[in-house]
Amino acid sequence: MTDPNAQDPTPEQVSGTPPRPGPPKPGSPRPGAPKPAPTESEHAPKPHPAPGQTHPHAPAVPASDPSRFGRVDDDGTAWVLTADGERCIGSWQAGDAAEGLEHFGRRYDDLATEVALLETRLTSGSGDVKKTRAAAEAILESLPTAAVIGDLDALSTRLTGVIEESEKAAIVQKQEKERHRAESTARKEALAAEAEEIGADSTHWKAAGDRLREILDEWKSIRGVDRKTDDVLWRRYSKAREAFNRRRGAHFAELDRERASAKTKKEDLVARAEALQDSTDWGATAAAFRDLLAEWKASGRAPREADDQLWKRFKGAQDVFFAARNAASAERDAEFEENARAKEALLESSSTIDPAADLEAARTRLRELQEQWEAIGKVPRDRMHDLEGRLRAIEKRVREASDSEWRRTDPEALARAAQFRERVQQFEEQAEKAQAKGRTKDADAALAQAAQWREWAEAAESAVGER
């Protein structure tokens, strides 16, 4: 293992220049082996972290055993073994061969860490697949000249796998991107359509305005739509929002005009109400106030502050009038109650009227009662029915007695009864003649007529009666 505090050799200590020819040593290259590279720096892989350091997101990679895949000769010549044979990767001049082997092995570990990082990015789905593939291809291209000692064949296989999987992942990523683009486009199309519906006919101004703002916030969060489509959809949303704002502005402008008109109407209603508040024409003025209130309700709302002030004045005028009317009503009710008591006393004093005992006296007392009744005046509404009923009962007794007396003495009624009896005799005679001639049907009809007139005669005689 390498001392973590050890310092890497300086460039002057490690040279990629092969040693001068000398007698072959054990482990020297076979005839025909590739010639060493002129310098290590020319064929080194892409810059790696310093020894002991790794990429911050790189997976942990165990240290390799460089002795299995290469060697460093005593003269410092470094060799790596691959499936194609040994290859000279440079010269180590900063220490003994073991230190050189460890150094080139550590460089391999750094390279393996880079490959592991690419694999991790690929399997986790993080990062750009194209960039991952490009990095793998670059490292794979550098392997034939990399100044490292380790299992380069395994790295080559792994990098080839990364490149192949990158191609597959690129296809999947493209499909996923297209799916995401389609979903994002569909979502924005739905939002644009909703905005157009709101912009065309919605009159729920507060809720619709809030929803348009929510749509805008959601719109900003949607990514992946191509620029041309996004511009078209944005113009649809923007146009719908502008249409809604125009309609809303026109609505509230019209509302302001209506409220100004309502204010003018209500100011006139207030003036008319205040002109009526001292009236004592209770019935007509109460009706006028009802009409004014109906006009008030039909006139619409004025601006809130003005509407509240105008209503306060209007209601104040109403209150003045109705308070005065209520006071007058209370005084009138007291007067009516007194009238009711007077009529009660009048009825009590008239309870002795007896038309059966003396019809003329009863008639005289009734006329006096009626005159006094009218002179007293009105009574409370809830007492009127009872009092009027008791008066009508007295009037009925006198009237019935008068009618009975008239019927008993009515000469016209007596004459009618005599006429009815005469008609009975005529029909009975007709029946006898018809019977004598054998016209039974005519006889029965005449007898029926005689019976009818007899009933009428008896009724007339009963109405007249006898004293």
* Residue 407 pLDDT: 66
* Residue 24 pLDDT: 36
* Residue 410 pLDDT: 65
Give the model's confidence band at 464: pLDDT under 50 very low, under 70 low, under 90 confident, else very high: low
Judge whether 291 and 247 are in contact, CB under 8 Å.
no
* Residue 156 pLDDT: 94
Residues 398 and 416 in one domain: no
Query: Domain boundary residue among 174, 193, 209?
Result: 174
Residues 403 and 420 in one domain: no
Judge whether 143 and 155 are in contact, CB under 8 Å.
yes
List the domain range (segments joined by +) for residue 396: 350-408
Rounded Cα distance, 235 and 447, in Å: 108
Residues 376 and 234 in one domain: no
Q: Which residues of 98-124 are buried (b: 16+ CB within 10 A; e: fewer)?
A: eebbbbbbbbbbbbbbbbbbbbbbbee
Judge whether 130 and 170 are in contact, CB under 8 Å.
yes
Averaged pLDDT, 134-153: 93
Please state whether beta strands 14-15 and 77-82 pair in parallel, antiparallel, or not at all (unpaired). unpaired
Q: What percent of the chain has pLDDT over 90?
A: 38
Residues 122 and 233 in one domain: no
Residue pLDDT, tens place only, 349-403: 887 888 888 878 888 888 888 888 889 888 888 888 988 888 888 888 888 887 7
User: Quick one: three-class SS letters along the chain?
Assistant: CCCCCCCCCCCCCEECCCCCCCCCCCCCCCCCCCCCCCCHHHHCCCCCCCCCCCCCCCCCCCCCCHHHCEEECCCCEEEEEECCEEEEEEEECCCCHHHHHHHHHHHHHHHHHHHHHHHHHHHHCCCCHHHHHHHHHHHHHHHHHCCCCCCHHHHHHHHHHHHHHHHHHHHHHHHHHHHHHHHHHHHHHHHHHHHHHHHHHCCCHHHHHHHHHHHHHHHHHCCCCCHHHHHHHHHHHHHHHHHHHHHHHHHHHHHHHHHHHHHHHHHHHHHHHHHHCCCCCHHHHHHHHHHHHHHHHHCCCCCHHHHHHHHHHHHHHHHHHHHHHHHHHHHHHHHHHHHHHHHHHHHHHCCCCCCCCCHHHHHHHHHHHHHHHHHHCCCCHHHHHHHHHHHHHHHHHHHHHHHHHHHHCCHHHHHHHHHHHHHHHHHHHHHHHHHHCCCHHHHHHHHHHHHHHHHHHHHHHHHHCCC
Residues 25 and 108 in one domain: yes
Averaged pLDDT, 66-84: 92
Please state whether beta strands 14-15 and 70-72 pair in parallel, antiparallel, or not at all (unpaired). unpaired
Give the chain's mean pLDDT: 82
Residues 99 and 197 in one domain: no
Rounded Cα distance, 383 and 387, in Å: 6
* Residue 294 pLDDT: 93
- Does some domain include residue 393? yes
Residues 50 and 133 in one domain: yes
Averaged pLDDT, 267-279: 91
Residues 160 and 190 in one domain: no
* Residue 408 pLDDT: 66
Rounded Cα distance, 219 and 221, in Å: 5
Residues 398 and 454 in one domain: no
Residue 151 has pLDDT above 90, yes or no: yes
- Does some domain include residue 53? yes
Judge whether 88 and 29 are in contact, CB under 8 Å.
yes
Q: How many domains does the chain have?
A: 4
Residue pLDDT, tens place only, 452-462: 888 887 787 77
Residue 166 has pLDDT above 80, yes or no: yes
- Does some domain include residue 444? yes
Rounded Cα distance, 370 and 394, in Å: 10
Residue 271 has pLDDT above 90, yes or no: yes
- Does some domain include residue 273? no
- Does some domain include residue 214? yes
- Does some domain include residue 157? yes
Residues 40 and 155 in one domain: yes
Number of neighbours of residue 89 by Cβ within 10 angstroms: 26
* Residue 354 pLDDT: 80
- Does some domain include residue 82? yes
Rounded Cα distance, 59 and 64, in Å: 15
* Residue 369 pLDDT: 83
Residues 163 and 186 in one domain: no
Vertex 466: Cα angle to 462 and 467 (nearest 5): 140
Query: Domain boundary residue among 155, 174, 193?
Result: 174
Note the maximum CA span of the chain: 190
- Does some domain include residue 396? yes
Give the model's confidence band at 431: pLDDT under 50 very low, under 70 low, under 90 confident, else very high: confident
Residues 162 and 196 in one domain: no
Give the model's confidence band at 10: pLDDT under 50 very low, under 70 low, under 90 confident, else very high: very low
Give the model's confidence band at 108: pLDDT under 50 very low, under 70 low, under 90 confident, else very high: very high
The pTM (predicted TM-score) of the whole model is 0.44
Query: Domain boundary residue among 258, 284, 313?
Result: 258
